[in-house]
Structure 1
Amino acid sequence: MSVNLESNPRGIPKAPFVDKVEEFIDENAETTLRKFTEMIGKYKFMESSHLQRKKILEGKIPDLRKTLDMVLYIISKQDSEEDIITNYELNDTIYATAKIKPTKTVYLWLGVNVMLEYTTDEAKTLLEEKLATAEKSLSNIKEDLEFLRNQITTMEVNIARVYNWDVKQRRLKKKESSI
Protein backbone atom coordinates (compact mmCIF):
# COMPACT_ATOMS: atom_id res chain seq x y z
CA MET A 1 0.00 0.00 0.00
CA SER A 2 1.46 3.36 -0.96
CA VAL A 3 1.27 5.94 1.79
CA ASN A 4 0.43 9.56 1.20
CA LEU A 5 2.56 11.80 3.44
CA GLU A 6 0.48 14.95 2.99
CA SER A 7 -1.02 16.53 6.08
CA ASN A 8 -2.93 19.59 7.19
CA PRO A 9 -1.08 22.60 8.74
CA ARG A 10 -1.20 21.00 12.21
CA GLY A 11 0.18 17.65 11.08
CA ILE A 12 -2.96 15.54 10.78
CA PRO A 13 -2.20 13.11 7.95
CA LYS A 14 -4.36 13.18 4.86
CA ALA A 15 -6.14 9.93 4.06
CA PRO A 16 -5.11 8.35 0.78
CA PHE A 17 -7.86 8.00 -1.79
CA VAL A 18 -8.08 4.54 -3.31
CA ASP A 19 -8.30 5.04 -7.05
CA LYS A 20 -6.87 1.68 -8.11
CA VAL A 21 -7.68 -0.85 -5.43
CA GLU A 22 -5.01 -3.30 -6.63
CA GLU A 23 -2.29 -0.81 -5.67
CA PHE A 24 -3.53 -0.66 -2.06
CA ILE A 25 -3.91 -4.37 -1.41
CA ASP A 26 -1.07 -5.67 0.76
CA GLU A 27 -1.46 -9.39 1.34
CA ASN A 28 -5.20 -9.62 0.93
CA ALA A 29 -8.26 -7.43 1.09
CA GLU A 30 -8.95 -8.30 4.75
CA THR A 31 -5.58 -6.92 5.83
CA THR A 32 -6.16 -3.71 3.89
CA LEU A 33 -9.68 -3.39 5.28
CA ARG A 34 -8.29 -3.86 8.81
CA LYS A 35 -5.69 -1.12 8.22
CA PHE A 36 -8.32 1.24 6.83
CA THR A 37 -10.64 0.54 9.77
CA GLU A 38 -7.75 1.26 12.13
CA MET A 39 -7.11 4.56 10.34
CA ILE A 40 -10.78 5.53 10.74
CA GLY A 41 -10.50 4.72 14.45
CA LYS A 42 -7.51 7.04 14.75
CA TYR A 43 -9.31 9.84 12.91
CA LYS A 44 -12.38 9.41 15.12
CA PHE A 45 -10.20 9.50 18.25
CA MET A 46 -8.62 12.76 17.03
CA GLU A 47 -12.10 14.10 16.24
CA SER A 48 -13.31 13.27 19.75
CA SER A 49 -10.26 14.95 21.29
CA HIS A 50 -10.79 18.06 19.14
CA LEU A 51 -14.49 18.21 20.06
CA GLN A 52 -13.55 18.21 23.77
CA ARG A 53 -11.00 20.99 23.23
CA LYS A 54 -13.56 22.96 21.20
CA LYS A 55 -16.09 22.70 24.03
CA ILE A 56 -13.51 23.92 26.58
CA LEU A 57 -12.52 26.89 24.41
CA GLU A 58 -16.13 27.81 23.71
CA GLY A 59 -16.61 28.06 27.48
CA LYS A 60 -13.35 29.91 28.08
CA ILE A 61 -13.64 32.61 25.39
CA PRO A 62 -16.76 34.31 26.83
CA ASP A 63 -15.10 34.41 30.26
CA LEU A 64 -11.99 36.01 28.79
CA ARG A 65 -14.13 38.59 26.94
CA LYS A 66 -16.11 39.36 30.08
CA THR A 67 -12.92 39.82 32.11
CA LEU A 68 -11.33 41.98 29.40
CA ASP A 69 -14.49 44.11 29.23
CA MET A 70 -14.32 44.64 33.00
CA VAL A 71 -10.63 45.61 32.83
CA LEU A 72 -11.42 48.06 30.02
CA TYR A 73 -14.26 49.50 32.11
CA ILE A 74 -11.93 49.94 35.10
CA ILE A 75 -9.37 51.64 32.82
CA SER A 76 -12.08 54.02 31.58
CA LYS A 77 -12.92 54.97 35.19
CA GLN A 78 -9.32 55.36 36.48
CA ASP A 79 -9.28 59.14 36.36
CA SER A 80 -12.76 59.49 37.82
CA GLU A 81 -13.39 60.51 41.41
CA GLU A 82 -16.59 58.52 41.81
CA ASP A 83 -16.64 54.91 42.98
CA ILE A 84 -17.38 52.08 40.58
CA ILE A 85 -20.50 50.13 41.51
CA THR A 86 -20.53 46.59 40.14
CA ASN A 87 -22.08 43.20 40.63
CA TYR A 88 -19.74 40.26 40.85
CA GLU A 89 -20.37 36.55 40.82
CA LEU A 90 -19.93 34.67 44.08
CA ASN A 91 -21.35 31.45 42.76
CA ASP A 92 -23.24 30.29 39.66
CA THR A 93 -26.46 31.97 40.79
CA ILE A 94 -25.33 34.31 43.56
CA TYR A 95 -24.10 37.84 42.91
CA ALA A 96 -23.02 40.59 45.26
CA THR A 97 -22.71 44.34 44.77
CA ALA A 98 -19.37 46.00 45.32
CA LYS A 99 -18.20 49.60 45.54
CA ILE A 100 -14.68 49.97 44.14
CA LYS A 101 -12.43 53.02 44.33
CA PRO A 102 -10.84 53.90 40.96
CA THR A 103 -7.71 51.77 40.67
CA LYS A 104 -4.77 51.11 38.42
CA THR A 105 -4.35 47.47 39.46
CA VAL A 106 -6.47 44.36 39.17
CA TYR A 107 -6.16 40.77 40.31
CA LEU A 108 -6.58 37.98 37.76
CA TRP A 109 -7.19 34.31 38.39
CA LEU A 110 -4.57 32.33 36.50
CA GLY A 111 -6.01 28.96 37.45
CA VAL A 112 -5.06 26.27 39.96
CA ASN A 113 -6.03 28.64 42.78
CA VAL A 114 -3.47 31.24 41.70
CA MET A 115 -4.29 34.93 41.56
CA LEU A 116 -1.81 37.66 40.58
CA GLU A 117 -1.91 41.43 40.73
CA TYR A 118 -1.44 43.26 37.43
CA THR A 119 -1.56 46.88 36.43
CA THR A 120 -4.66 47.50 34.35
CA ASP A 121 -2.53 47.98 31.24
CA GLU A 122 -0.68 44.68 31.84
CA ALA A 123 -3.98 42.93 32.48
CA LYS A 124 -5.46 44.37 29.30
CA THR A 125 -2.47 43.21 27.26
CA LEU A 126 -2.46 39.76 28.87
CA LEU A 127 -6.19 39.24 28.37
CA GLU A 128 -6.09 40.47 24.76
CA GLU A 129 -3.25 38.02 24.04
CA LYS A 130 -5.05 35.14 25.76
CA LEU A 131 -8.29 35.95 23.94
CA ALA A 132 -6.55 36.14 20.57
CA THR A 133 -4.76 32.84 21.25
CA ALA A 134 -7.99 31.13 22.33
CA GLU A 135 -9.87 32.42 19.28
CA LYS A 136 -7.06 31.28 16.96
CA SER A 137 -7.03 27.86 18.64
CA LEU A 138 -10.79 27.59 18.25
CA SER A 139 -10.52 28.52 14.58
CA ASN A 140 -7.80 25.89 14.08
CA ILE A 141 -9.84 23.26 15.89
CA LYS A 142 -12.89 23.98 13.72
CA GLU A 143 -10.70 23.72 10.62
CA ASP A 144 -9.18 20.46 11.90
CA LEU A 145 -12.62 19.02 12.64
CA GLU A 146 -13.74 19.72 9.08
CA PHE A 147 -10.52 18.15 7.78
CA LEU A 148 -11.02 15.09 10.02
CA ARG A 149 -14.63 14.64 8.84
CA ASN A 150 -13.38 14.68 5.24
CA GLN A 151 -10.68 12.11 6.03
CA ILE A 152 -13.18 9.83 7.77
CA THR A 153 -15.50 10.06 4.76
CA THR A 154 -12.59 9.32 2.41
CA MET A 155 -11.61 6.26 4.43
CA GLU A 156 -15.22 5.03 4.53
CA VAL A 157 -15.34 5.32 0.74
CA ASN A 158 -11.99 3.50 0.53
CA ILE A 159 -13.32 0.67 2.67
CA ALA A 160 -16.39 0.35 0.45
CA ARG A 161 -14.22 0.32 -2.69
CA VAL A 162 -11.85 -2.34 -1.31
CA TYR A 163 -14.76 -4.45 -0.05
CA ASN A 164 -16.56 -4.25 -3.39
CA TRP A 165 -13.34 -5.07 -5.24
CA ASP A 166 -12.83 -8.09 -2.99
CA VAL A 167 -16.38 -9.33 -3.59
CA LYS A 168 -15.86 -8.95 -7.34
CA GLN A 169 -12.54 -10.86 -7.18
CA ARG A 170 -14.14 -13.69 -5.19
CA ARG A 171 -16.98 -13.95 -7.70
CA LEU A 172 -14.48 -14.07 -10.57
CA LYS A 173 -12.47 -16.82 -8.83
CA LYS A 174 -15.65 -18.76 -8.10
CA LYS A 175 -16.79 -18.37 -11.68
CA GLU A 176 -13.35 -19.48 -13.01
CA SER A 177 -13.25 -22.50 -10.71
CA SER A 178 -16.72 -23.60 -11.78
CA ILE A 179 -15.74 -23.59 -15.47
Structure 2
Amino acid sequence: MSSSVKTNARNIPAAPFVADVVDYIGGEDAEVDSALKQFQEMAAKYRYMEISLLQKKKSLDVKIPDIKKTLAMVRHLDWVNSEGESEEPTKTLFELHDTLYAEAALDKTDVVYLWLGANTMLSYTIPEAISLLENKLQLAETSYANSNDDLEFIREQTTITDVNTARIWNFDVKRRRQKRETDDKE
Protein backbone atom coordinates (compact mmCIF):
# COMPACT_ATOMS: atom_id res chain seq x y z
CA MET A 1 0.00 0.00 0.00
CA SER A 2 1.15 3.58 -0.61
CA SER A 3 3.23 5.22 2.11
CA SER A 4 3.10 8.87 1.04
CA VAL A 5 -0.07 10.61 -0.05
CA LYS A 6 0.18 13.34 -2.68
CA THR A 7 -2.34 16.19 -2.62
CA ASN A 8 -3.40 19.08 -4.81
CA ALA A 9 -2.96 22.76 -3.87
CA ARG A 10 -5.96 22.64 -1.51
CA ASN A 11 -4.94 19.36 0.17
CA ILE A 12 -7.33 17.03 -1.63
CA PRO A 13 -5.56 13.66 -1.57
CA ALA A 14 -4.62 12.06 -4.86
CA ALA A 15 -5.62 8.48 -5.53
CA PRO A 16 -2.63 6.15 -5.91
CA PHE A 17 -2.38 4.42 -9.27
CA VAL A 18 -1.98 0.67 -8.96
CA ALA A 19 0.64 -0.31 -11.52
CA ASP A 20 1.11 -3.85 -10.19
CA VAL A 21 -1.97 -5.39 -8.58
CA VAL A 22 -0.09 -8.34 -7.08
CA ASP A 23 2.46 -6.05 -5.43
CA TYR A 24 -0.27 -3.68 -4.23
CA ILE A 25 -2.41 -6.32 -2.54
CA GLY A 26 0.62 -8.00 -0.98
CA GLY A 27 1.20 -11.11 -3.05
CA GLU A 28 -0.37 -13.55 -5.49
CA ASP A 29 -2.49 -15.26 -2.81
CA ALA A 30 -3.47 -12.13 -0.82
CA GLU A 31 -7.10 -11.17 -0.37
CA VAL A 32 -8.38 -8.29 -2.49
CA ASP A 33 -11.26 -7.34 -0.20
CA SER A 34 -9.34 -4.73 1.80
CA ALA A 35 -7.96 -3.10 -1.36
CA LEU A 36 -11.40 -3.05 -2.99
CA LYS A 37 -12.94 -1.61 0.17
CA GLN A 38 -10.23 1.07 0.33
CA PHE A 39 -10.91 2.19 -3.25
CA GLN A 40 -14.69 2.10 -2.74
CA GLU A 41 -14.33 4.34 0.33
CA MET A 42 -12.04 6.65 -1.63
CA ALA A 43 -14.58 6.84 -4.47
CA ALA A 44 -17.35 7.71 -1.99
CA LYS A 45 -15.22 10.49 -0.50
CA TYR A 46 -14.51 11.91 -3.95
CA ARG A 47 -18.23 11.84 -4.79
CA TYR A 48 -18.99 13.71 -1.56
CA MET A 49 -16.30 16.32 -2.31
CA GLU A 50 -17.61 16.71 -5.86
CA ILE A 51 -21.18 17.32 -4.65
CA SER A 52 -19.93 19.83 -2.08
CA LEU A 53 -17.86 21.71 -4.68
CA LEU A 54 -20.75 21.77 -7.15
CA GLN A 55 -22.99 23.33 -4.48
CA LYS A 56 -20.30 25.90 -3.66
CA LYS A 57 -19.88 26.71 -7.34
CA LYS A 58 -23.66 27.08 -7.77
CA SER A 59 -23.72 29.51 -4.84
CA LEU A 60 -20.88 31.52 -6.37
CA ASP A 61 -22.74 31.60 -9.70
CA VAL A 62 -25.37 33.69 -7.90
CA LYS A 63 -23.08 35.64 -5.59
CA ILE A 64 -20.56 36.93 -8.17
CA PRO A 65 -23.13 38.74 -10.38
CA ASP A 66 -24.73 40.26 -7.25
CA ILE A 67 -21.37 41.58 -6.06
CA LYS A 68 -20.62 42.97 -9.53
CA LYS A 69 -24.01 44.69 -9.70
CA THR A 70 -23.58 46.22 -6.22
CA LEU A 71 -20.03 47.34 -7.02
CA ALA A 72 -21.21 48.98 -10.25
CA MET A 73 -23.89 50.89 -8.34
CA VAL A 74 -21.50 52.08 -5.63
CA ARG A 75 -19.02 53.20 -8.32
CA HIS A 76 -21.86 55.06 -10.03
CA LEU A 77 -22.71 56.82 -6.75
CA ASP A 78 -19.04 57.73 -6.37
CA TRP A 79 -19.04 59.15 -9.90
CA VAL A 80 -22.25 61.14 -9.24
CA ASN A 81 -20.75 62.56 -6.04
CA SER A 82 -17.48 63.51 -7.70
CA GLU A 83 -19.22 65.14 -10.68
CA GLY A 84 -20.50 67.91 -8.41
CA GLU A 85 -22.19 69.95 -11.15
CA SER A 86 -25.80 69.74 -10.08
CA GLU A 87 -27.47 69.94 -6.71
CA GLU A 88 -30.49 68.12 -8.17
CA PRO A 89 -31.04 64.63 -6.77
CA THR A 90 -30.12 61.78 -9.10
CA LYS A 91 -33.15 59.83 -10.27
CA THR A 92 -32.83 56.10 -10.49
CA LEU A 93 -34.77 52.86 -10.45
CA PHE A 94 -33.97 50.26 -7.84
CA GLU A 95 -35.00 46.65 -7.65
CA LEU A 96 -37.44 45.71 -4.93
CA HIS A 97 -37.91 42.17 -6.19
CA ASP A 98 -37.15 40.17 -9.34
CA THR A 99 -39.60 42.09 -11.54
CA LEU A 100 -40.56 44.99 -9.27
CA TYR A 101 -38.74 48.33 -9.41
CA ALA A 102 -39.30 51.67 -7.72
CA GLU A 103 -38.12 55.15 -8.65
CA ALA A 104 -35.91 57.00 -6.19
CA ALA A 105 -34.27 60.39 -5.97
CA LEU A 106 -30.78 60.17 -4.50
CA ASP A 107 -29.16 63.11 -2.83
CA LYS A 108 -25.39 63.26 -2.89
CA THR A 109 -24.00 61.16 -0.10
CA ASP A 110 -20.71 59.77 0.99
CA VAL A 111 -22.23 56.81 2.87
CA VAL A 112 -23.79 53.59 1.57
CA TYR A 113 -25.34 50.68 3.42
CA LEU A 114 -24.41 47.15 2.44
CA TRP A 115 -26.11 43.89 3.39
CA LEU A 116 -23.50 41.57 4.85
CA GLY A 117 -25.80 38.62 5.33
CA ALA A 118 -27.49 37.12 8.39
CA ASN A 119 -29.86 40.12 8.47
CA THR A 120 -26.94 42.48 9.01
CA MET A 121 -26.45 45.81 7.26
CA LEU A 122 -23.54 48.18 7.86
CA SER A 123 -22.78 51.68 6.67
CA TYR A 124 -19.58 52.38 4.78
CA THR A 125 -18.09 55.41 3.15
CA ILE A 126 -18.15 55.01 -0.62
CA PRO A 127 -14.38 54.38 -0.91
CA GLU A 128 -14.57 51.78 1.89
CA ALA A 129 -17.54 50.11 0.21
CA ILE A 130 -15.74 50.00 -3.15
CA SER A 131 -12.67 48.49 -1.50
CA LEU A 132 -14.75 45.92 0.40
CA LEU A 133 -16.74 44.91 -2.68
CA GLU A 134 -13.64 44.66 -4.88
CA ASN A 135 -12.02 42.44 -2.25
CA LYS A 136 -15.15 40.26 -1.95
CA LEU A 137 -15.36 40.00 -5.74
CA GLN A 138 -11.72 38.97 -6.01
CA LEU A 139 -12.14 36.35 -3.27
CA ALA A 140 -15.32 34.98 -4.88
CA GLU A 141 -13.69 34.76 -8.32
CA THR A 142 -10.62 33.06 -6.84
CA SER A 143 -12.85 30.62 -4.98
CA TYR A 144 -14.76 29.93 -8.21
CA ALA A 145 -11.54 29.24 -10.12
CA ASN A 146 -10.26 27.01 -7.29
CA SER A 147 -13.56 25.11 -7.29
CA ASN A 148 -13.21 24.48 -11.03
CA ASP A 149 -9.63 23.26 -10.57
CA ASP A 150 -10.64 21.05 -7.65
CA LEU A 151 -13.57 19.58 -9.61
CA GLU A 152 -11.24 18.69 -12.47
CA PHE A 153 -8.75 17.15 -10.02
CA ILE A 154 -11.49 15.15 -8.29
CA ARG A 155 -12.82 13.84 -11.62
CA GLU A 156 -9.30 12.66 -12.51
CA GLN A 157 -8.94 10.96 -9.12
CA THR A 158 -12.36 9.35 -9.48
CA THR A 159 -11.28 7.93 -12.83
CA ILE A 160 -8.04 6.59 -11.31
CA THR A 161 -10.01 5.08 -8.42
CA ASP A 162 -12.48 3.42 -10.82
CA VAL A 163 -9.63 2.04 -12.95
CA ASN A 164 -7.86 0.68 -9.86
CA THR A 165 -11.05 -0.95 -8.61
CA ALA A 166 -11.66 -2.54 -12.00
CA ARG A 167 -8.07 -3.80 -12.27
CA ILE A 168 -8.16 -5.35 -8.79
CA TRP A 169 -11.60 -6.87 -9.42
CA ASN A 170 -10.51 -8.27 -12.78
CA PHE A 171 -7.35 -9.69 -11.20
CA ASP A 172 -9.47 -11.46 -8.57
CA VAL A 173 -11.91 -12.81 -11.17
CA LYS A 174 -9.04 -14.08 -13.33
CA ARG A 175 -7.34 -15.66 -10.29
CA ARG A 176 -10.57 -17.42 -9.21
CA ARG A 177 -11.19 -18.65 -12.75
CA GLN A 178 -7.65 -20.09 -12.94
CA LYS A 179 -8.06 -21.71 -9.52
CA ARG A 180 -11.39 -23.24 -10.58
CA GLU A 181 -9.87 -24.53 -13.82
CA THR A 182 -6.95 -26.01 -11.89
CA ASP A 183 -9.33 -27.64 -9.41
CA ASP A 184 -11.44 -29.04 -12.27
CA LYS A 185 -8.36 -30.66 -13.90
CA GLU A 186 -7.42 -32.43 -10.68
TM range (shorter): over 0.9
SS in 2 for 1:107: strand
Contact 1:72 1:124 in 2 (8 A): yes
Q: How does 1:90-109 map to 2 (within 5 A)?
A: 90-109=96-115
Structure 1 equivalent of residue 60 of structure 2:
57
Contact 1:54 1:138 in 2 (8 A): yes
Identity fraction in percent = 47
Aligned with 2:46 (options 43, 47, 51): 43
Aligned with 2:74 (options 71, 76, 84): 71
Structure 2 equivalent of residue 133 of structure 1:
139
1:153 Cα deviation from its structure 2 partner = 0.6
SS in 2 for 1:78: helix
1:30 Cα deviation from its structure 2 partner = 2.3
> How does the TM-score come out when normalised to structure 2?
0.92
Matched, 1:10 2:46: no
Structure 1 equivalent of residue 170 of structure 2:
164
Inter-CA distance 46–3: structure 2 relative to 1 (3 Å threshold): farther
Structure 2 equivalent of residue 110 of structure 1:
116
Q: Letter of the aligned partner of 1:114 in structure 2?
A: T
Residues matched between the structures, number: 179
Structure 1 equivalent of residue 125 of structure 2:
119
Contact 1:89 1:95 in 2 (8 A): yes
Structure 2: runs of 5 or more not aligned: none
SS in 1 for 2:113: strand
Summarize deviations over 1:32-87 as a string: whole Å, max 9, x none. Answer: 11211111000000000000000001100000000000010001010332322111
Alpha-carbon distance in 1 for matches of 2:164, 2:5: 17
SS in 1 for 2:108: coil
Matched, 1:155 2:161: yes
Moved more, 110-119 or 74-83: 74-83
1:29 Cα deviation from its structure 2 partner = 1.4
Instruction: Report the RMSD for the aligned CA atoms in angstroms.
Output: 1.3
Matched, 1:87 2:93: yes
Inter-CA distance 62–111: structure 2 relative to 1 (3 Å threshold): same
Alpha-carbon distance in 1 for matches of 2:102, 2:72: 18
Alpha-carbon distance in 2 for matches of 1:28, 1:83: 80
> How does the TM-score come out when normalised to structure 1?
0.95
Contact 1:4 1:16 in 2 (8 A): no
Q: Give structure 1 regions of 4+ aligned residues with deviation exceeding 4 angstroms.
A: none
